Structure 1
Amino acid sequence: MSPTIAILAPGAMGSAVARRLNENGARVLTSLRGRSEATLKRAADAGMIGAEDEAIADADIILSIVPPGEAVALAERLASLIVRREKKPVVVDCNAVNVDTVLRIEEIIGSAQAPFVDAGIIGFPPQPGGKSPAFYMSGEHARDVAVLKDLGLDIRIVEGPVGAASALKMSYAGIVKGLAGIGSAMVIAATKAGAADALRNELALSQPAILARLEVALPDMIPKAYRWVAEMREISGFLGPDHPASQIYEGFARWFEHLAGDATGDGIDTDLMKAFAEKSVNKRG
């Protein structure tokens, strides 16, 4: 009998994961109450079934895939749904949250006597015919969701307690998205000062790998910047308030917040980023 997986919520990653699970025989539920028309269409295209809370609580596995700032509230909602149920789903938190946050989520889910798995997703949403992002999982129940590997997801076990997978996610995102933050800030500053061509030429000569990464990362980050704000603050919290580098990530949060607003406003800075990346590609081509 096909397992029933609930995914909350049907965003870009959640719906793409749902499509992959559906392709491999799973029944995928989600909550569509109060969602926009665009979200309803995305969920339908992914084969997700809109379900009430009772049905979601009856799922075999629940995957929480929401913006970091919503992760604790969702855990509280899930705990209230499953606390009185005899059969408990395995709850997997797949969000970009720091270790303290995921331990709090574990405590919330544990109050409902449900098994809990800490997970971190690294990679892009799965595309039809493409590979799955890596789902790193830790905690004593991590192997209880091995069926997800049979359903098309790339499951990788991190040997360690709850918090180990989130620590990996925080560290990886801190490096990759931190580089995107540094690159975008310096590209815009150089462009406004009239040094964009000189910066591009020097990177091509001495740091071609960095230039190639910026060509992809700069335009790619623009529609995602709003989602990275809370993630940068989670990384700052991961380092801790007394860590000398924690303020770097608070600064990145403010920078991505600015870029998100610029992208939906006059687009001055985001247009400069796109122009730098496009000119680099054209010049190389």
Structure 2
Amino acid sequence: MEIAVIGAGAMGSAIAGRLVENGARVVTYLEGRSASTIQRAKAAGMEPVGLDAVAASRLILSIVPPAEAVAVAEQIAVELRRTGRRTTFMDCNAISPRTMAEVAAIFGSDCGVVLDGSIVGGPPKPGQKGPKLYVSGDEANDSGVLVEHGLQVRRIEGSIGAASALKMCYAGINKGVTGLGTAMLLAAIHSGADEALKRELQESVPDLYAKLVHGIPDMYPKAYRWVAEMEEISDFLGKDDPAALIFRGMAGLYRKMAKDREDGGLLADQLDELNSGA
């Protein structure tokens, strides 16, 4: 069984590795990618091929940062039309239902089948079942082959957009809490209320504080990807929903944390120092 995975980041390479472990041949397209990405793909057992070979795959998974989702769809659709092939393309990215509809429109009816997928959970790890891959619009059970090769797939009712909506809601809660905690802890540090806030969180909401202690450092290397994801959530809520402004603000926060990482991590160091020994 040959499956194409576009995107050899932490999630894409780990998903590919799980498929390879369970007997699938996984191909990918690496032109223009960094040396570290190429090495990660190799370690996962992904085989680099040209776009023509990707288009020839029975199933193509797009697992890229949300800001790249439309461009990847356009690239694959152009190749499918050039070769006259048809395939099943599953967008697994953190995008809004509106963006997912744009992806589906790019493929039209002449390139094959488009499925709406969303990944909930971290990259696969040995001995663990996750993450969960939610899929909507899969009337023919084209995602069943992924189950056969080791992935945890949950088909949900609804057409294109249903799985993306689920991802927006889940990420809005999960990453929204991390962003809110980051913002308020930084505000406490800068105003001298940090140790008092830390103690109060430990006493009043210990489970929440434990989540922040783990989730905030885990966020630093991902912040640049979460910017577009927060913007997608804002788009999902719509301009008439006041809560959309919250996620525009979250995008700005994660943009600030991404820049902090590029600049040496001063804010991250302050947060880590406060939360050390928690």
TM-score relative to the length of structure 2: 0.97
The one of 200, 205, 220 equivalent to 2:203 is 205
Cα contact 1:132–1:152 (8 A) shared by 2 = no
TM-superposed deviation, 1:131: 2.3
The one of 132, 139, 147 equivalent to 2:145 is 147
Matched, 1:249 2:224: no
| Structure 1 residue aligned with 2:64 | 66
| Structure 1 residues 97 and 225: alpha-carbon distance in aligned structure 2, compared to 1, 3 A threshold | same
SS of structure 2 residue aligned to 1:120: strand
Cα contact 2:85–2:111 (8 A) shared by 1 = no
Q: Distance in 2 between matches of 1:140 and 1:222?
A: 35
Q: Distance in 2 between matches of 1:142 and 1:263?
A: 44
Q: Distance in 2 between matches of 1:37 and 1:122?
A: 28
| Structure 2 residue aligned with 1:278 | 276
The one of 260, 263, 274 equivalent to 2:261 is 263
**Which residue identity is paired with 1:235?**
I
Cα contact 2:156–2:163 (8 A) shared by 1 = yes
Q: Gapped runs of 5+ residues in structure 1?
A: 281-285
Cα contact 1:79–1:112 (8 A) shared by 2 = no
Q: Gapped runs of 5+ residues in structure 2?
A: none
Q: Distance in 2 between matches of 1:240 and 1:165?
A: 18
| Structure 1 residue aligned with 2:156 | 158
| Structure 1 residue aligned with 2:46 | 48
Q: Distance in 2 between matches of 1:212 and 1:44?
A: 35
Cα contact 1:142–1:157 (8 A) shared by 2 = no
Cα contact 1:135–1:153 (8 A) shared by 2 = yes
| Structure 1 residue aligned with 2:135 | 137
Q: Distance in 2 between matches of 1:197 and 1:222?
A: 22
**Further displaced range: 138-147 or 158-167:** 138-147
Q: Distance in 2 between matches of 1:19 and 1:220?
A: 22
**Which residue identity is paired with 1:218?**
I
The one of 229, 232, 238 equivalent to 2:230 is 232
TM-superposed deviation, 1:45: 0.3
4+ runs deviating over 2 angstroms: 83-87, 110-113, 128-132
SS of structure 2 residue aligned to 1:7: strand
What do residues 34-84 of structure 1 show as CA deviations (whole Å, max 9, x unaligned)? 221111111110000000111111101000011111111111111111125
Cα contact 1:222–1:260 (8 A) shared by 2 = yes
| Structure 2 residue aligned with 1:180 | 178
| Structure 2 residue aligned with 1:283 | none
Cα contact 2:87–2:111 (8 A) shared by 1 = no
TM-superposed deviation, 1:9: 1.2
TM-superposed deviation, 1:218: 1.2
RMSD of aligned Cα (Å): 1.3
TM-score relative to the length of structure 1: 0.94
- Number of equivalent positions: 278
The one of 9, 18, 21 equivalent to 1:20 is 18
SS of structure 2 residue aligned to 1:222: helix
Q: Distance in 2 between matches of 1:157 and 1:28?
A: 22
**Further displaced range: 63-72 or 134-143:** 134-143
Cα contact 1:119–1:166 (8 A) shared by 2 = yes
Cα contact 1:118–1:142 (8 A) shared by 2 = no
Matched, 1:36 2:49: no
What do residues 196-222 of structure 1 show as CA deviations (whole Å, max 9, x unaligned)? 211111111111111110110111111
Q: Distance in 2 between matches of 1:35 and 1:268?
A: 29
SS of structure 2 residue aligned to 1:83: helix
State, as a whole percentage, how many aligned pairs show the same letter: 48
The one of 91, 95, 98 equivalent to 1:97 is 95
**Which residue identity is paired with 1:59?**
S
SS of structure 2 residue aligned to 1:95: coil
| Structure 1 residues 153 and 94: alpha-carbon distance in aligned structure 2, compared to 1, 3 A threshold | same
What do residues 215-235 of structure 1 show as CA deviations (whole Å, max 9, x unaligned)? 101111111111100000000
SS of structure 1 residue aligned to 2:26: strand
Q: Distance in 2 between matches of 1:154 and 1:140?
A: 15
